[in-house]
């Protein structure tokens, strides 16, 4: 019996995979059973209690490398605002499938799993197909890094990332470098601040420097310039003490021409030895040449499905994806980001994905897979 991507989307949403803590293993096992029943070779990579990745393959013949589809099954927390629907029920209202992770990105995973399973007998041609389903994407591509370190993927000829794009073909995104900057001082009673060294004042001077920080690199023609944002500032334990430690959370979005090591070196030189720099998230930018024949083919397939064209300017995404890790791990194949979710609904209260876009994505993925193995 064919797999219905809408029913599968609802099944995946029913698993609470809020990260942290993640606990994706039960959801991964559910997908593994479905893929194994469809005849795919499957392998679960468990890397922590209740946390796991899944690799599934249809081995092809010939010398062509497989087409790889990827997506993650963890989600962000529900947030503080109340939901008007059950976030784990997958309720469908007015053509919209609601639930945490619907748009980002369980509906995308359901669409490519359904597409591959429903056409599995036709996908044993030249190259074959591989699915890489990850845990832990939301807090820095944990699962993808585990896959890459273990070397369990091999190489791929092309990569489709089913993150939310409303089924528009996207050819790249910026990288993310999240840093924690630490300043230290000497504590003292708040009534005698001259006896201490205030780490908060040091942090304030650092923030003033960050506001004027220059990357000294030309903007990417389509991704634009790199950006820097001070997202968090923490100092002190109580009002009547001099704080002896302050922390600054820094979110830097990079472009392909700007290695992250170079950014850290620039910051260290400008901020000085008294500022410690710890790395929290380090994932690179992704960019595929829009003139690559396969990229052009995917763009055309998406435009055909949507019934519109988007002109010559390539589309890019504002967020990062597991492609930051998986594209280099797979041998740097051309990479496209294309999924049924709507980027503006990701991480939102009452998150949803349009049912029509889920079915459309399933059709696009099936076409891409069939075309690949011909």
Q: What value, to the nearest 5°, has the Cα angle with vertex 269 and ends 267 and 273?
A: 100
Question: Going edge to edge, which strands form the sheet with 352-354?
Answer: 92-93, 96-98, 352-354
Query: Is-catalytic flag, 74?
Result: yes
274 flagged as catalytic: no
The H-assigned helical ranges of 212-318 are: 260-271, 293-306
Is 80 within 8 Å of 92 (Cβ atoms)?
no
Of 24, 104, 137, 138, which one is the catalytic site residue?
Answer: 137
- Expressed in angstroms, the distance from the first to the final Cα of the chain is 25
- Catalytic residue selected from 74, 104, 142, 322: 74
Sequential DSSP letters for 304-341: HHHT----SSPEEESS--THHHHHHHTTS--EEE--SS
CA distance 184 to 206: 12
Query: What b/e readout covers 214-233, taking b as 16+ CB neighbours within 10 angstroms?
Result: ebeeeebeebeebebeeeee
User: What tokens were used for 79?
Assistant: 């947030």
Is the peptide bond prior to 369 cis by the omega test (within 30 degrees of 0)?
A: no
Q: Edge-to-edge strands of the sheet including 175-184? A: 227-235, 245-254, 175-184, 276-283
SS3 content of the chain, % helix, strand, coil (to 5): 35, 25, 40
Q: Which of these, 43, 209, 36, 62, lies nearest to 125 by C-alpha position?
A: 62
- Cβ proximity of 318 and 172 under 8 Å: no
Length of the chain: 374
Q: Which residues are catalytic?
A: 74, 137
């Amino acid at each position: 019996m064919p797999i219905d991507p809408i029913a599968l989307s609802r099944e995946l949403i029913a698993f609470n995979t809020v990260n942290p803590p993640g606990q994706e293993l039960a959801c991964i096992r559910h997908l593994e059973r479905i893929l194994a029943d469809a005849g795919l070779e499957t392998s679960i990579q468990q890397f922590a209690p209740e946390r796991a990745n899944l690799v599934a393959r249809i081995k092809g013949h010939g010398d062509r490398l497989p087409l790889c589809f990827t997506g993650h099954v963890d989600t962000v927390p529900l947030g503080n605002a109340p939901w008007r629907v059950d976030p784990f029920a997958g309720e469908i209202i007015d053509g919209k499938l609601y639930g945490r992770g619907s748009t980002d990105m369980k509906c995308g995973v359901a669409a490519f799993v359904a597409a591959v399973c429903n056409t599995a007998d036709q996908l044993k041609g030249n190259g074959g197909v591989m699915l890489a389903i990850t845990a832990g994407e939301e807090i820095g591509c944990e699962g993808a890094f585990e896959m890459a370190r273990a070397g369990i993927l091999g190489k791929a000829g092309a990569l489709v990332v089913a993150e939310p794009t409303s089924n528009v073909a996207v050819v790249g995104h910026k990288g993310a470098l999240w840093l924690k900057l630490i300043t230290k001082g000497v504590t003292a009673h708040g009534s005698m601040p001259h006896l201490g060294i205030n780490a908060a004042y040091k942090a304030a001077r650092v923030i003033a420097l960050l506001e004027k920080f220059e990357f000294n690199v030309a903007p990417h023609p389509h991704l634009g310039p790199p950006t820097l944002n001070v997202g968090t500032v923490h100092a002190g334990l109580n009002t009547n003490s001099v704080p002896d430690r302050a922390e600054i959370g820094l979110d830097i979005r990079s472009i392909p021409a700007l290695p992250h090591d170079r950014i850290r070196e620039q910051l260290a030189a400008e901020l000085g030895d008294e500022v410690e720099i710890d790395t929290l998230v380090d994932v690179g930018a992704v960019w595929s040449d829009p003139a690559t024949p396969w990229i052009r083919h995917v763009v055309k397939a998406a435009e055909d499905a949507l019934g519109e064209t988007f002109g010559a300017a390539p589309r890019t995404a504002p967020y990062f994806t597991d492609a930051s890790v998986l594209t280099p791990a797979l041998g740097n194949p051309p990479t496209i980001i294309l999924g049924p979710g709507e980027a503006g609904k990701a991480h939102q209260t009452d998150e949803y994905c349009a049912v029509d876009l889920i079915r459309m994505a399933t059709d696009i993925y099936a076409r891409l897979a069939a075309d690949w193995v011909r």
